[in-house]
């Protein structure tokens, strides 16, 4: 089926392995955006580096494919300079939680109105199979020879601890629910984290499609406005809940907190600074 966000070049060479969870996420995101009636011209996809971060390459829209780990600062700046654009920052678990870990923390604190999609397959793909921050204990790789022994990074628990405005997890094995979660995340005003479980068919022989299928379930009778309950769900490690863990609507966004937007709501890029005022400021130095 043709999608508004499909690139014109039909021969685009996708860099993913057959069966990769990225295909599903690509499709889910395109369908979400179409259903939300977002225009390619008013959307910017910002990504870092990694197999997941290649997703914007296969879109017809504005793209900023920057450096490893650095999608969030770029995405934050694009949003604050032009709040009229829809912004999605996308990447993998190594990109967002490892190399970009500090930016992840501070993007949540700033709360720009954007969606942060993290493809979480618990392994490094592009560098060929090393552990990622979310790899589970005991996971063996050519580098973690005896298996990972560090505590895995828990993105949802960290985000809830930081009082993020929207925290959710999806599994790409369920396209329909993933689209629903993405829709709500993009519609949400404020920073929205969607951590998406995906299998890596080449490098993660532990957390396979079947493994995710068996481990995950959807949150039921969960109050997403209850932060402590959300945290409790986020720290589960045996069974892994999916769905919207936490919502904190009404939190001031980064853009709203910027003085230049207090009175004048036009994007700053459309304004010209006041030359007369500048002349006065210079004169005041007399």
Partner 1 sequence: MYKTDYKNNYLSEDKQSTSLVIGGEAGHGIQTVETLLTRIFKLGGLNVFATKEYMSRVRGGSNSTQIRVSSKKVLAPVKRIDILIPLDKSALPHLKDRINKNTIILGEKEKVSPEQEILDVPFSRVAEEIGNLIFANIVAVGIIAAIFKIKQQIPLGCIKKYFSAKGEKITQGNIAAIKRGYELASDLIKKGSLAQLSIPVPDFSQDIQEEILLNGAEAVSLGAISGGCNFISAYPMSPSTGVLIFLSQHAEEFNIIAEQAEDEISAINLALGAWYAGARGMVTTSGGGFALMEEGVSLAGMLELPIVIHLAQRSGPATGLPTRTEQGDLELALYSGHGEFPRIIYAPGGIQDLFYLTQQAFNLADKFQIPVFVLTDQYLMDSYYNTMEFKLTKMDIERYTRKTKKNYKRYQLNKNGISDRGIPGWGEGLVLVDSDEHDEHGRITEDLSLRTRMVDKRLRKLKAINENTISPELAGNKEYEVLIVSWGSTYYIIKEALGNLNDHKISFLHFKQVYPLPSETEEYLKKAKKVIVVENNATSQFSKLLKLYTGIEVEHKILKYNGLPFFVDELIGKLEKVI
The SS3 call for residue 115 is strand
3-class SS letters over the chain: CCCCCCCCCCCCCCCCCCCCHHHHHHHHHHHHHHHCCCCHHHEEEEECCCCHHHHHHHCCCEEEECCCCCHHHHHHHHHHHCCCCEEEEEEEHHHHHHHCHHHHHHHHHHCCCCEEEEEECCCCCCCCCCCCCCCCCCCCCCCCCCCCCCCCCCHHHHHHHCCCCEEEEEECCCHHHHHHHHHHHHHCCCCEEEEEECCCCCCCCCCCHHHHHHHEEECCCCCCCCHHHHHHHHCCCCCEEEEEEEECCCCCCHHHHCHHHCCCCCCHHHCCCCHHHHHHHHHCCC
Judged by beta carbon, residue 68 or residue 247, the one nearer partner 1 is: 68
Residue identified by tokens 């925290």 is 167
CA angle in degrees (0–180, nearest 5) for 213-217-220: 165
Strand-pair partners of 86: 43
What is the pattern of x (binds partner 1, CB under 8 A) and - over residues 165-194? ------------------------------
Kindly compute the dihedral angle of the four CA atoms of residues 208, 209, 211, 217, in this order, to the nearest 10 degrees.
140
Stretch that binds partner 1, among 24-32, 44-52, 189-197, 236-244 (CB under 8 A): 44-52
Least distance between partner 1 and beta carbon 40 (Å): 6
The SS3 call for residue 214 is helix
Under the binding rule (CB under 8 A), the answer on residue 269 touching partner 1 is: yes
Judged by beta carbon, residue 163 or residue 236, the one nearer partner 1 is: 163
Under the binding rule (CB under 8 A), the answer on residue 282 touching partner 1 is: yes
Under the binding rule (CB under 8 A), the answer on residue 64 touching partner 1 is: yes
Under the binding rule (CB under 8 A), the answer on residue 267 touching partner 1 is: yes
Under the binding rule (CB under 8 A), the answer on residue 49 touching partner 1 is: yes
Under the binding rule (CB under 8 A), the answer on residue 258 touching partner 1 is: yes
Give the count of residues interacting with partner 1 (CB under 8 A): 55
Least distance between partner 1 and beta carbon 94 (Å): 16
Judged by beta carbon, residue 209 or residue 261, the one nearer partner 1 is: 261
Q: Report the residue from 26, 28, 75, 186 that binds partner 1 according to the rule CB under 8 A.
A: 75
> According to CB under 8 A, which residues from 103 to 142 bind partner 1?
103, 105-106
Q: Report the residue from 74, 108, 114, 164 that binds partner 1 according to the rule CB under 8 A.
A: 74
Q: Report the residue from 30, 54, 169, 227 that binds partner 1 according to the rule CB under 8 A.
A: 54
Q: Report the residue from 62, 127, 130, 144 that binds partner 1 according to the rule CB under 8 A.
A: 62
Under the binding rule (CB under 8 A), the answer on residue 51 touching partner 1 is: no
- Residues in contact with partner 1 by CB under 8 A are 7, 12, 40-42, 44, 46, 49, 54, 57, 60-67, 70, 73-78, 80-82, 84-85, 102-103, 105-106, 258-260, 262, 264, 267-269, 271-275, 277-279, 281-283, 285-286
């Amino acid at each position: 089926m043709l999608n508004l966000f499909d690139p014109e070049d039909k021969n685009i060479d996708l860099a993913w392995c057959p069966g990769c969870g990225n295909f599903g996420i690509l499709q889910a995101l395109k369908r979400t955006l179409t259903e939300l009636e977002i225009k390619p011209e008013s959307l910017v996809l910002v990504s870092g580096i990694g197999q997941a971060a290649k997703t914007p390459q296969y879109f017809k829209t504005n793209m900023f494919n920057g450096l490893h780990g650095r999608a969030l600062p770029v995405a934050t700046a694009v949003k604050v300079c032009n709040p009229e654009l829809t912004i999605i920052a996308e990447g993998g678990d190594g990109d967002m939680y490892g190399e970009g870990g500090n930016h992840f923390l501070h993007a949540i604190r700033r709360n720009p109105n954007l969606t942060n999609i993290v493809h979480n397959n618990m392994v490094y793909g592009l560098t060929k199979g090393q552990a990622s921050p979310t790899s589970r204990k005991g996971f063996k790789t050519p580098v973690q020879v005896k298996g990972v022994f560090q505590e895995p990074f828990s993105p949802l628990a960290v985000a809830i601890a930081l009082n993020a405005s929207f925290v959710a997890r999806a599994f790409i094995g369920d396209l329909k629910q993933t689209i629903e979660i993405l829709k709500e995340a993009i519609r949400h005003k404020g920073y929205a984290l969607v951590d998406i479980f995906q299998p890596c068919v080449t490098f993660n022989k532990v957390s396979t499609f079947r493994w995710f299928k068996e481990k995950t379930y959807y949150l039921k009778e969960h109050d997403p406005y209850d932060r402590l309950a959300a945290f409790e769900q986020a720290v589960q490690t045996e069974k892994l809940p999916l769905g919207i863990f936490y919502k904190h609507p009404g939190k001031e966004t980064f853009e709203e907190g910027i003085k230049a937007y207090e009175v004048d709501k036009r994007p700053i890029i459309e304004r010209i600074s006041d030359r007369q005022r500048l002349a006065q400021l210079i004169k005041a130095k007399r």
